[in-house]
Chain A
Amino acid sequence: MTNLLEVVDLRTSFDTERGTVTAVDGASFTVAPGEVVGIVGESGCGKSVTAESILQLLDPASTTYSGQVRFGGEDLLTFGETAMRRIRGNRISMIFQDPMSALNPVFTIGDQLTEAILAHRRIGKQRARSEATELLEKTGIPEPQRRMRQYPHQLSGGQRQRVMIAMALSCDPELLIADEPTTALDVTTQSQILKLLIELKDEFDAGILFITHDLGVVAEICDRVVVMYLGEVVESANVHTLFDSPAHPYTRGLLASTPDIASDPSIDLPIIPGTVPTLHNVPVGCRFADRCSFVLPECRDRPIDLEVLSDGHSSRCIRSVKLFEDSAMSDGVAR
């Protein structure tokens, strides 16, 4: 199947007062039509910057992109601002991590949603308004009619998040980028939203790039998963492979530290020891070495390549093959 989106060796750097930092460093992945691809990784690993680079949303004065973002046969990184504007909120839409940044405080919810619908469809204003109300209702917001007349600040955190989701869905995008779209929602409302996204995908064969720190959500909705660490893709795999036989020690750490409602509340929660290094101190060798319990001296010598373990499964670790076989065995999964 031809891919909808192909990100090839994407590199995004920022000029800061303290020198240049590279927040995304050579990321490659694809999204096919009708596919949900998850990006996971700890806070600060470069998930949002990857998403914002696809749409070139970062401050042009301080940001440099390289690599390719292939979409519909063209490389979006060669597009200027005018051409990108025709893509954003039209063929590719995005649900932002921070709802307030995406909503205009001086217009009502209804005006903003209606405007978004009218921007790409030739229908009357009345019809657009009623479709907007319908969309709000689908996200589970109570009294959608009244909400249409309200301003963003009059909504609760979870309601704002859902307005933004409605906004991103309003244009029936070919590709939806969802950056932590359900963080403010309880499990029930969250599953309602996830269903809505699945509907979009099934009805229009849209692709979804789903950024989340929540592995429960990944288990629920993703077909494939890309794991990022300090700006690099460290593992990518089919969702079942990732949960059953993770090959990278970082992925294993993430899976092990998922809290469970049944675990003993008096014991401190398990964590991956240490913290993500800052972008000013990127290690020469394996970027995860300081926190890895499988580390060998040679891990620190030179950058580690992403190694293909099997069709659609790759990992950036010199011990991947061994660890992968062990985990496949210990989980009793024959491959």
Chain B
Amino acid sequence: MNDDHTVLEARNLSKTFSSRSLLGRTTSETRAVDHVSLSLTAGKTYALVGESGSGKSTTGRLLQGLISPSAGEVTIRASNGSTSVQSISRANRDVQMIFQDPYSSLNPRRRIRGILEESLRIIGEREPAVLRSKVDEALAAVGFGEEHAQRYPHEFSGGQRQRIGIARALVVSPKIIICDEPVSALDVSIQAQILNLLRKLQAELGLAYLFITHDMTVVRYLAHRVGVMHRGKIVEEADTADLFANPQHDYTKRLLASVPIHHPSQRAEAKGKN
């Protein structure tokens, strides 16, 4: 670990997916992540941006220990200062993930309270009063109350499910949260509430975030450092202000240039007509 505040370090991570035919022959290989190195710092946000399919979610899953790398390793510094190598066999409670697809990551047969309690049980919490109060606290943080705790996932809207995913990550008080497009399904109002909340938690608890997003407004608001992925590689890395002021890679330039419009009169076709 290169300095005191580094809580996670990925060195030369690679992941190759191979598909096999029925006869077991490898038919195609995808190098989804290609020699990625990055480090996460306590109290700071690292944003990972890049076009669809560039390897952002796969990188997030490697850091969380959900899949194992084809090469390279991830080291994590625990609360007591000791370091360990992240592996699938003993996923680290200090690292939690908010998934891009909230629905398929929630057990459809359990109530929300049960889903959140399960996360706490996995890390060894058994005391009913503690389970209850921690779950209440995490749900309140995303704007939910007892009425929501009793429901099943299918009874929620898309954006509400995404908030459940956020509460589930928060409930175990992790040091590091891998956020995979956590606010892209949310309307601006709740998006702002969640982003403000994430920023507040970071300031209070010194959380480190890896923030995967395609929204440059969010990057500018939340990130300290930005990595730009392209075809599995990090092709550009810079402090946020520098990246916005002086983008180097073509994709970064394109991303920053394509600002969404804010008014129907800005439409390309409307401009011609009016």
Chain A positions within 8 Å of B, measured between CB atoms, are 14, 16-18, 41-44, 47-49, 59, 97-101, 141-142, 146, 149-150, 154-159, 162, 180, 183-191, 213-220, 222, 239-240, 243, 253-254, 257-261, 265, 268-272, 275, 278, 280
Contact = CB atoms under 8 A, between A and B. Distances in A.
B52 A260 contact: no
Contacts of B186: 43, 213
Contact of A157 (B57, B158, B265): B57
Contacts of B258: 186-188, 191
Contacts of B263: 219, 243
A150 B19 contact: yes
Contacts, number: 172
Contact of A219 (B30, B192, B267): B267
A215 B264 CA distance: 10
B158 A100 contact: no
B201 interface: no
Contacts of A191: 258
B36 interface: no
Nearest to B267: A220
Given A14-B155, A271-B193, A188 B255 contact: yes
Contacts of A214: 260
A258 B103 contact: no
B100 A157 contact: yes
Interface stretch (B128-136, B169-177, B214-222): B214-222
Interface residues of B, number: 63
A260 B101 contact: no
Contacts of A154: 17, 19, 30
Contact of A258 (B100, B180, B181, B188): B188
B147 A278 contact: yes
A286 B110 CA distance: 35
B238 interface: no
B137 interface: no
A156 B188 CA distance: 24
Given A98-B103, A257-B188, A258-B188, A48 B260 contact: no
Contact of A42 (B28, B53, B187): B187
A176 B222 CA distance: 36
B262 A157 contact: no
B23 interface: no
A39 to B, nearest CB: 12
Scoring B53, B103, B104, B192 by chain A CB atoms within 10 A of each residue's CB, the highest score goes to B53
Contacts of B261: 216, 219-220
Contacts of A186: 51-52, 214, 255, 258
A270 to B, nearest CB: 7
